[in-house]
Each structure stands twice: as structure tokens, then as C-alpha cells.
Structure 1
Amino acid sequence: MTQMKRPCSPTPLPSKLVSTTACLTTDALKEHDRNTRPVSLITRLDMASEQSTSGIPGEIPILSPSTRSSQWSRSSSPSRLSDAQYRYRLLRRANIFVDDEIPMDIQHETENKVFNVLLDTNNSNLYKVSEKLWHKSKELVRKPSGKAEWTEALYTAIDELKPDGLEVARNRDWREDLKPPVYNPLSTIPRKRDRSHRIVPGNTVELTIPIFKLKDPRPDICVGLSDENLANALVPKKGRSAARRFLVDLQETSSLISDPHVTPLGLRFPFLVVEAKAAATGGNLYQAQNQAAVGGSAALQILKNLSDLQDLDEEGQEITEDGPVVTQDLPNTKLRLAFSVTTEGPIHELWIHFQKPREEDFYMVCLGTWRTTLEDGSLNFLRQLSAVLRWGNGEFKDDIISVLQDI
């Protein structure tokens, strides 16, 4: 049985605008496009603003596909950005620069204070840990191993190499307020003015302003100083009771956030973060580097906050004593350092994070790359990593304690 179609009059309406009751046929839509004058974006925004301020309900102006496309790109959030866009559009807005050049003074600092004494390849513990990582890496590459398996292998190596005064945490969220600030662009579209030349607020225009936000750090592995170890070191200067609650009180009052975790773990002043990926499950080094860039910068921010707290304390002493005070320079004032490891399966990169004197920028430079499926690659990587761990438990910790004792 043939179904009867609903009749539609082919006669065009006398008005140039197609009636809202007209049939939405192809011919009717083409007729509407021919007879409708184009309306600019500013006009549409003004119309929406007038309707909202007058209380008259109105339809949201429909933008052309090209306008919608450009508006979408302007309001992109980090979750919609590609890995390359996140690095070059967003990290740079936070003054984080990846793969920059390492200055001579930073290089001199690391060579003489971090990597000045590398463990001998015949060191029994180092050799044992290296053998284990090497064999585990060869085992993992024979199957489609994911991020969790590779992270576990590296965590085991770090845990067996770390000195007693350090703490290690895995997959824990860091506080949002430790991230470097992102400098978002300002709107360039003028808002509507009323007859008295006052700017009328327009919510529609504000939606076009992009708001970029760094992803919160959540390192796969994080290494820092033990809270208990720091407290014991402060006992001679502050007394046992005060030493135990000193860093806790500073954190509770937000005077100094030394434990970066949302839920404090007793790991303070992190100096090494690890971001792991597995190519077999879709991860890559580029993604790991982006994540490490934020985590490493947050670690530097903690050290900067310590420096600022020391400066405030010294200013207070000058006011109290009403005279010049001979102050001790913060050891990490000139060279604030942190490290990170990024991995893609058996490929391991070691990075240094630093800030230059009197600059707010954060820099991240690669120090070397190793493949742990090779015996020499595993051994040489762990020699460098062991040096970072010993520096963290040695000179780095001593510098931190020296400052805390004087606050």
C-alpha cells in the first residue's frame, strides 16, 4: 500500500525569512539561505546580550560551522589538546621549557655535587640490582607488558638502592596548589556598550576566553626525604616535641607545603619523580616527559617556597633586632635542583629540573638515555640513578635541614 506524503506548498512566502512552520525541505532551506542576510558574530553576541539583560527569552545564536570551529579551538582544554599542543601551548604558558640547554654553572654543580662519585661497577649491591633489572626487562619485552609491570620493575630497583633516610611513594595525587601558574590569554572581543557608554556584562563573550590548566601531578614513583628522619635531625635545635610537629604545623597552616601529596604520606621535599609509559599499551616518552615536566616543576616550587619562608624569617629578625643580620644563604637559592626519570618500556631517560638565578622559568634537560634490556645499559643507568639517590640523602638533605634549623 502506497503511503500518502504530507502536501507542502511550493509557493514561497512573501517575507524573505522562511516561516518557522514551513516544511524543512531542501528547497525551503536553500530559499532561506538566499533570502537571509548574514549576521556577524559580534551582532549575534550583542543580540544574545540584549535578550539576557532585558529578561526576554531568546534563542542562542547559531554560529556558522567555521565560526564554531574557531571558537572550539580557542576554548580547548588540556584534555582536548594533543601531546604536542599541551607542551608548546600549555607548558610554555606556565613557563616550563623542555629540552632546553643546560647552563655551565648548573652543569658544574651536578658534576661536582651529584655525579662526582659514581658507584664502581663492581659494587656488589649495584651489580645485583642491575642484574635483576636487566633480566626483568628482557622478560617484559617478550610479551605485551603494560605500564604497571615496567613501573614495578623500576620501583624494585629504586627501593633496593635507596639509603635509609629516603621515602618512596607510588601513584599518589599531588596537591594542585604546587603547580606553576598558567598565564591565560585575555579576551580580544569588545563587549557591548549601552547608550551611556558603560560596558554591559556579556556572559556569551566570556565563554570564548580559553582557560588552560595544567594536569595535576601524579607521579608513578616519587622519592623524597623521610619525615621521621628530618624530625630527628631537628631535635638538637628545637627539642623533641617541637621537632616532631614543626613541619606538620607549617603544612597545616600552609606556611610551607613540604609533603606534596593530597593525603600526606610522611614524604617531604621530593627530589625525584618517575613517569612510566609502555609502548605496547599505547604510551610514549613524549607523554611521560610532559607529565614529568609538571611534577619536576612542582618539586622546584616547594624549594622556592622554602626559600621564601627563609626570607620572611630573616626580615622578621631584622625588624626585631633593629640592625643588620648576617644571614646564611639558602644552599639551593642559586641552584634549585630536582630530577626525573621518564620511561617507555625498557628505554629510560634521566632529566634534571632547575631554575636559573633570579628567574621564574622552569627548565628540564635530558642527561642521558639507556636501554635496560642491555646489560651495560641497565648498569650505567642505575649508576646514575644511585648517584641521585645518594645526593638526595646527602647534600640535598643537609641543605634542607640547615635551613629548617634556622626558621
Structure 2
Amino acid sequence: MAPQAKSAPAKKNRRKTAAGPATPIVRSVKPRKSARLQNDSTPSTRPAPISQPACARRKRSRDPEAEADDREGVCPEAEADPSVHPAKRPRSLPSPQLQLSETNLRRFNGEEMHITPASRIKRSSSQRSTSSDVTQDTARSQRSSGTTAYYRFAHLATAQVYIHTDSAEDIQEAIDAVFKAEPSEERRDQLKAISQVLHNGCTKAARAAVGEDDFVHLFFAALKAMSSEKLCLREKADWQEVLKPRIQRSHFNLDFLAGFDFMAGYQQQEVDATATPRKRHQESAGQTYISPRSSMANAFDPMPAKEPGTMPPPAPPSVLEADRSPIKTPRPDISIGTEVTALTSALSSQDTNSSEAWLFLTQLQNMMVHRESGGPQEPVLISVPAPRASDLAFPFAVVEGKAYSTGKQVFEAENQAAVAGACGLKMQLCLDELVERAAPTPTSDVLPAPKNQPALFFSICTQGPIHELWVHWTNVEGGMRKFHMKLLKICHGVLLEGVEDFIVAVDNMLRWGTGQFLESVVERLGRVARNTRAEA
């Protein structure tokens, strides 16, 4: 009966342990069970366990099932093992709110592992996204500005096209002769009404933040109101590529460098050349990216090497002389010139009829010649610059516009107008060259040809309601043909007074184009026609 008396207190102690309020019993013989049942709120009094149970180790795991088992106080390994006596299996822990410390309670409730990190990640991600967008917009703006500036000061300068230059005395006299005319009172009243319409349209468009075409169409309507039957206006007409100014080549002979091995000492650069170049180095106003490995080789041979370190055979002359100019082909927003019918009608007064005049211009434009050694074939005379605008002949002005609210600047419009101006001047130079070639041998009975006025061309560059009037001219300096561009007037569309003064200047330009300029073109073409008919 003695053993039965000892077993009763043991069962009573086990019931107290399951109830919770009683202090857990720490047994020296079974430290593992005592460490498992000890209160977490007093970690300093807990004895160090001999070995940590597997279920306690899994408490730090991120596995949801393991966390769920730990919160319920059940050790999966103990339940799964049938050899473990049921009395030795750990019982359910008390409620976490009563037995766990504040740190463990937050850990078991998932506040640190789920809620806090997620909110932090979300906020930091939003901040990074905003910062990234600003950085990309800034880099894109800097890349665009750098590209247009590089195009002007590198490519255009190489083609001898310059902006903001001073005019010589004879050029300035010719410019003043165009704008010195004063309109009549009736004409001024008409121009004042046109200025009012343009002012109202620019004011409304500026408030509405419209695009580029809306502003250009406002000015197009003003030009139509000022135009005459001799004037031709065409939008988005693609000019011929052969009119573009060519990149000037030096007269120095560098053939002795053709066989030099530029690849020596650049093994590391050859490895880097296989990587994709950065985007900002690829965008430079039509300039093709050239890797460090092939930059020097391509200066003498445009064909890439088939194997690293070897030079391909020389390309044929036709490929070497191909036009790879970075200068963009003009496509003005508005091309301003003479109606072909008006030109042929004026030529009919030069001892020929309209049909013969049209056939004469067609023959000159279809006859091809080489103007430069190794250069492409060009027409003897280009009277119609845009094949898809066959009614536009000998343009004397263009309009290039950019948006106002989208960030496009007038700087880029000026670059485009500079090339169009050089193309228009080249057409006039070709006409002068044709007159000289068709001139008969001078004799005492032949009167000298009248001296032609300096070749002029005009352009209007806009940035929304901002309008600029430019003049273009050309000269030969140091054996090179150079093209220049100078600002004459500027106005803002929302200021009526400035608009009226600007419209008067534009009207003078249009009257010069359909008057003095057209008469000069007809006189020179008539001279060529008479000389060629006499030889026949």
C-alpha cells in the first residue's frame, strides 16, 4: 500500500501544472521538460538546457505551419513518435497573452515578421519609384539638350553652317532693301486685322497648352491671308537629300595612315566593345554609334572586320564615297515659294510659251552632273525641291515650329531652319552656275550681264506663341563655301503690338519673294534659254 500513497501527490502536481497558475516544477533528472514548461517572462532564472528540442528550434522558422504548431504549444515530432510515452509528451502551453513576454507575443502575432516589414517595403518602394522617375526625366532632358547642341556645334559646323553670325556690309544692304518698304494705308489695315486674328489664336492656344501643329496652323492661316496668287505654301514637304550641305573634307593627304595598326594596345577596349553601348551615347542627332574597337578602322574602311584584329579588304570607291552625312534632310513645317504656273507664265514672256518653259525646267532637273570630285550625281538645276510638292518652285522661306507646353525648344527649330536655308541658297547658286556655263564667249557686241544681288533666304522659327524671323546668306572664305544665319525680329503672340510689327516684316518678305526675287529667277532662266536656243 506504500507505493499507492506516493503516486497520489504526483498526479496532484501534474494537474496543477496543466492549470497554469502554479510555478512549474524543475527537475534535475529531466531538464528538457522543465526548460520547455518554464515561463518565458523570467528568462534570467531559467537554467540552461542541455539540448534544445526540435520544436523549440522551429519556433524561429518562417514556415507558417511550424509557427501555427508553436503557437498552440504542440511539438509535432513528439506527437509523431509513437515510442514516446504519452505522459512525457509536452502539454499545451498556456495562452500567449498570459504566458509570453511582450517580445515573443509580437513575434507570434506576426507583427514583426509580416506587418512592419511589408509597410516599410511599400513606402521605400514608392520613394524609390518617385526618385527614379525624376532621375530619368532629368537624364532624358539633359540628353535631348545635349543632342541638339552637339548637332549644331559639331555636325552643322563641320558642314560650314553657322548660326548667329554678323553680316557683311553688302549683305546688310540687301537685307535692308527687303524690309525698308512701307505698306500702304489700306495694306496696313489688312495686316492689322491679320495680326489681331493671330494674337487671339496664340492667346487661346497658350492657355490651352496645345501642341506644335496647332500653333503652326495659326501662322499658316496668317500666311494664307497675306499670300497672293503667285505664292505657294506647302506643309510637311520632304526636300531632296541632294540639296543638303556636304561635310567639308580637308585637303591633307592621310593615306599613309591607312596601313597603320591602330588596334595595338587596345585589347581591353576590344573586349569592352562587345558590350552594348549606353543609350545616351547612341543618340546624337543621327550620328551612328562607333565602338572604340572600330572607331579608327572605320575612318578608312566603313566595312566591319570579319575577325578581331584583322582589317577587311578595301571597299570599292562607290561605297567609300557614299553619303553618310549626319545632316538631316529638310522637312519644313511650311515651305514658302513660287507657284510653278506663275514661274512658267513669267518665262513665257522671255520669247517662249508656257509649254516650252515647263519642258525647259524639266530637262534641266532631269540632267545629272557631278559637281564635286567623287560626289554623287546631282541635277543641273533643282527648281522643285520637294517631289511630292511639284507645284512649289524656288522656295525663298520656310517655317519650322516646335511645341510650347511639351518642352520642345526653338533651339531645335533653328537647327532645322539652318539646313533648309543652306538648301535654298544652294538652289540659287546652281542657277548662277548654270547662267555662267551657258553664257556665250564675251565679245565687244555683247553687253555684260547685270550683277546679281546677294543670294538671300528667310526662315521663321516658332516655339508656340514665340516667333523669330531669320535671314540666311552664303559666302566663300578660305576656299570653302559657308552658310550663315542671323536673327532679325522676334515677337510673342500674346503681345498684340509686337505681333503687328512682326506681320509687317513678314509681309515685306513675301512681297520680295513674289516680286524682286521671282523677277531675278525669271531673268536668269530666260538668259539661259536664249543662249541655248541660239546655239541650237
TM-score (norm 2): 0.55
* Residues 179 and 121 (structure 1), Cα distance of their counterparts in 2 relative to 1, 3 Å cut: farther
The answer as to whether partners of 1:189 and 1:205 remain within 8 angstroms in 2 is no
- 1:281 maps to 406
Q: Does 1:341 align with 2:466?
A: no
- 2:343 maps to 230
How much has 1:203 moved relative to structure 2?
8.1
The answer as to whether partners of 1:121 and 1:127 remain within 8 angstroms in 2 is no
Q: Does 1:141 align with 2:206?
A: yes
Which of 344, 347, 356 is equivalent to 1:242?
Answer: 356
- 1:389 maps to 510
How much has 1:121 moved relative to structure 2?
7.3
How much has 1:184 moved relative to structure 2?
5.7
Q: Does 1:298 align with 2:423?
A: yes
Q: Does 1:82 align with 2:201?
A: no
SS at match of 2:481: coil
- 1:206 maps to 297
Aligned AA (2:489): G
Deviates more, 1:179-188 or 1:92-101: 179-188
Larger Rg: 2
Measured in 2, the distance between the counterparts of 1:370 and 1:187 equals 52
Measured in 2, the distance between the counterparts of 1:323 and 1:213 equals 49
Aligned AA (2:173): H
- 1:118 maps to 182
The answer as to whether partners of 1:307 and 1:330 remain within 8 angstroms in 2 is no
Aligned AA (2:225): E
* Residues 280 and 204 (structure 1), Cα distance of their counterparts in 2 relative to 1, 3 Å cut: closer
Aligned AA (1:206): A
* Residues 188 and 362 (structure 1), Cα distance of their counterparts in 2 relative to 1, 3 Å cut: farther
Measured in 2, the distance between the counterparts of 1:88 and 1:204 equals 21
SS at match of 1:169: strand
How much has 1:345 moved relative to structure 2?
0.8
* Residues 373 and 311 (structure 1), Cα distance of their counterparts in 2 relative to 1, 3 Å cut: same
Deviation by residue 1:100-143 (Cα, 9 ceiling, x = unmatched)? 0122221111212x112133577222111111000000000002
Please list every run of 5 or more consecutive structure 2 residues that lacks an aligned counterpart in the other structure: 1-143, 262-292, 303-323, 368-378, 529-536
Which of 242, 245, 252 is equivalent to 1:177?
Answer: 242
Aligned AA (1:360): R
Aligned AA (1:307): D
SS at match of 1:152: helix
Aligned AA (2:384): D
Counting only pairs closer than 5 Å after superposition, residues 143-162 of structure 1 correspond to structure 2 as 143-162=208-227
SS at match of 1:279: coil
Deviation by residue 1:242-275 (Cα, 9 ceiling, x = unmatched)? 1232212211222211111133421111101110
Aligned AA (2:459): S
The answer as to whether partners of 1:285 and 1:342 remain within 8 angstroms in 2 is yes
* Residues 313 and 380 (structure 1), Cα distance of their counterparts in 2 relative to 1, 3 Å cut: same
The answer as to whether partners of 2:211 and 2:406 remain within 8 angstroms in 1 is yes
How much has 1:281 moved relative to structure 2?
1.8
The answer as to whether partners of 1:225 and 1:270 remain within 8 angstroms in 2 is yes
The answer as to whether partners of 1:184 and 1:212 remain within 8 angstroms in 2 is no
Q: How many positions carry a matched residue from both structures?
A: 314
Measured in 1, the distance between the counterparts of 2:381 and 2:426 equals 11
Measured in 2, the distance between the counterparts of 1:382 and 1:297 equals 24
* Residues 95 and 187 (structure 1), Cα distance of their counterparts in 2 relative to 1, 3 Å cut: farther
The answer as to whether partners of 1:187 and 1:208 remain within 8 angstroms in 2 is no
Q: Does 1:398 align with 2:519?
A: yes
Deviates more, 1:129-138 or 1:118-127: 118-127
The answer as to whether partners of 2:455 and 2:473 remain within 8 angstroms in 1 is yes
Aligned AA (1:115): F
Which of 97, 101, 108 is equivalent to 2:173?
Answer: 108
Deviation by residue 1:207-239 (Cα, 9 ceiling, x = unmatched)? 356954200000001110111011111113223
The structure whose RCO (Cα within 8 Å, separation 6+) is larger is 1
The answer as to whether partners of 1:187 and 1:206 remain within 8 angstroms in 2 is no
Which of 236, 258, 269 is equivalent to 2:394?
Answer: 269
Measured in 2, the distance between the counterparts of 1:188 and 1:275 equals 45
Measured in 1, the distance between the counterparts of 2:425 and 2:448 equals 22
Runs of 4+, deviation exceeding 6 Å:
185-189, 321-324
- 2:489 maps to 368
Which of 289, 309, 318 is equivalent to 2:434?
Answer: 309
- 1:355 maps to 474
SS at match of 2:208: coil
The answer as to whether partners of 1:180 and 1:297 remain within 8 angstroms in 2 is yes
How much has 1:80 moved relative to structure 2?
11
SS at match of 1:309: helix
Measured in 2, the distance between the counterparts of 1:116 and 1:80 equals 37
Deviation by residue 1:334-374 (Cα, 9 ceiling, x = unmatched)? x1100000011111110000013676110000001111111
* Residues 140 and 177 (structure 1), Cα distance of their counterparts in 2 relative to 1, 3 Å cut: same
* Residues 285 and 179 (structure 1), Cα distance of their counterparts in 2 relative to 1, 3 Å cut: same
TM-score (norm 1): 0.72
Measured in 1, the distance between the counterparts of 2:518 and 2:422 equals 19
Deviation by residue 1:295-319 (Cα, 9 ceiling, x = unmatched)? 01100000000000001101xx22x
Measured in 1, the distance between the counterparts of 2:354 and 2:465 equals 45
Instruction: Give the fraction of aligned pairs with identical amino acids, expressed as a percent.
Output: 30
- 2:365 maps to 251
Measured in 2, the distance between the counterparts of 1:296 and 1:192 equals 41
The answer as to whether partners of 1:121 and 1:379 remain within 8 angstroms in 2 is no
Measured in 1, the distance between the counterparts of 2:391 and 2:421 equals 19
SS at match of 2:399: strand
Aligned AA (2:297): E
Measured in 1, the distance between the counterparts of 2:182 and 2:403 equals 29
The answer as to whether partners of 2:211 and 2:403 remain within 8 angstroms in 1 is yes
Measured in 2, the distance between the counterparts of 1:346 and 1:184 equals 40
